[in-house]
Amino acid sequence: QTVWDISIPWGPAEFHTVNAENFASAVTEATGGEVEMIIHPGGSLGVRANESLRAVEDGAVPMAEYALFQNVGDLPILGIESIPFLISDYSELRRMHDLVRPVWEEALMDRNQMALYIVPWPSQNFFTKEPLETAADMEGVRMRVYDANTSTMITNLGMTAQQMNNPDIIPALATGRLDAVMTSGSTAAAQKYWEFLNHTYNTNHLWASNAMTVNLDVWGEISEENQQIILDLAAEMEPGFWAISEAEHATRMEELMANGMTVQAPSEELATMMRDATKDMADDFIAANPEAGDIIAQFRAGAAN
């Protein structure tokens, strides 16, 4: 019998974690208990979100689920879906994944791991204390950012881009040290943003997906039969996980409204400013990752059809 520990940075109730639990029990059942996966949520194995790719590669943990954009320090190409305003909805995201997934898979193979399934986070939003409609509203708003991309975008918008570590965020929102955050509806609802913030803008500015990956050395230790069972299960369950993610956004927006937050599309002015602030980012990304050029060209050609 093989036992694999899976490191997951998110809490036990997060839908990605629930998906992983379901996947793990399906695997145990289908392999007749020969392969067992134990979920360790909340980062309890000490593997951080942005060092998970490396941890799986080194075999520090046999499996981990991690957000691709948080591991671009190790594999820059994983950030392609997070180029602002490149992808507008789930069907486009699906198309982008169809194009880029072979490239990702090869890159991950080079890093001694394989993605069993990849599932997106629900679309992104701005959550603010004060209304954010005009350029004047954005002046000096302290918005939490989490990587180089979002940092540049927020600075270009005239806001104050604020790096801040996770445990500081909720108290900072409560005291007014922080005026705004950007994330998905599921994180916003889980952390009860309505206690501190008033407005939700469905900016949909970038996409982020999680990959469930397994170290190739431990993968090679199980029978080919079991390998096939697991691969089939992953392929079979992934569309369902995507559907859950897609439904999550609407559910969470209703939850936010029920708790008194406004939920709206960004104003014309905000939308235009955001696109202007980020218009060079695709080219910058291609300059840094030449292999992305073809993929983005193909993706855009597909969108034109």
Partner 1 sequence: MVAAILRPVLRAIDLVCVAGAVVAAIACAIMAVMLVTEVIATSFFGWSQPWAVEFSGYSLLAVFFAGSGWALRQGAHIRVTLVTQSLPPRGAWALDVLASFGALIVTCYASYALIRYALRSAELGSVSTYLSQTPLALPQGLLAASFVLLALALFARITRLLTGEDPELPVAGAIE
Partner 2 sequence: MSGALTFIGSFLALFLGGGLWVGFALMALGILALELFRSMRIDSFLAGDIWGTATAQELVTLPLFILMGEILFHTRLSQNLFSGLAPFVRRLPGGLLHVNVLGCTLFAAVSGSSAATTATVGRITLRELETRGYDRRLALGSLAGSGTIGFLIPPSIPLIVYGVLAETSILELFIAGIVPGLILAAAYMTWIGLASTFGSAKPPPREPSTTWAHKARALGQLLPLTLLIGFVVGSMYGGFASVTEAAAIGVLGALLLTVWERQLSFAMIRAALLGTVRTCSMIGLILVGALFLSKAMARLAIPREVAAAIDSLGLSPYALILLLTLFYLAMGCFLDGLSTIVMTLPVTLPLVIAAGFDPVWFGIFLIITIEMAQVTPPVGFNLFVIRTLTGEGIGRIARAAMPFCLLMVCVVIVLTIWPDLVTWLPDQMRSR
Alpha-carbon span 138 to 132, nearest angstrom: 6
| Nearest in space to 205 (alpha carbons), one of 263, 127, 136, 126 | 126
SS3 of 179, please?
coil
What is the rounded CA–CA span in Å between residue 67 and residue 53? 9
Tell me: does residue 72 bind partner 1 (CB under 8 A).
yes
- Considering only residues 126 to 165 of the shown chain, the ones binding partner 2 according to CB under 8 A are 164-165
Q: What are phi and psi of 293, to 5 degrees?
A: -55, -50
Partner that binds at residue 59, options partner 1, partner 2, none, CB closer than 5 to 8 Å by kind: partner 2
When CB distances are held under 5 to 8 angstroms depending on the partner's kind, the choice from partner 1, partner 2, none that residue 166 binds is partner 2
Footprint of partner 1 on 114-143 (CB under 8 A): 139-140, 142
Per CB under 8 A, does 59 bind partner 2?
yes
Q: Which part of the chain contacts partner 2 (CB under 8 A), choosing from 25-33, 98-106, 190-198, 232-240? A: 190-198
96: Cβ–Cβ under 8 A, 6 or more apart, which residues?
A: 80, 81, 86, 87, 295, 299
Which of the listed partners (partner 2, partner 1, none) does 160 bind, with a CB threshold of 5 to 8 Å by partner kind? partner 1
Query: Quick one: which of 174, 231, 235, 303 contacts partner 2 (CB under 8 A)?
Result: 174
**CB < 8 Å & 24+ apart, contacts of 107-110:** 107/75, 107/77, 107/78, 108/53, 108/75, 108/211, 108/213, 109/216
Asked whether position 33 contacts partner 2 by CB under 8 A, the answer is no
d(Cα 24, Cα 26) in Å, to the nearest integer? Answer: 5
Query: In the complex, which residues of this chain contact partner 1 (CB under 8 A)?
Result: 50, 54, 58, 70-74, 139-140, 142, 146-148, 151-152, 160-165, 177
Query: In the complex, which residues of this chain contact partner 2 (CB under 8 A)?
Result: 5, 11-13, 38-48, 51, 54-55, 58-62, 164-168, 170-172, 174-178, 190-192, 195-196
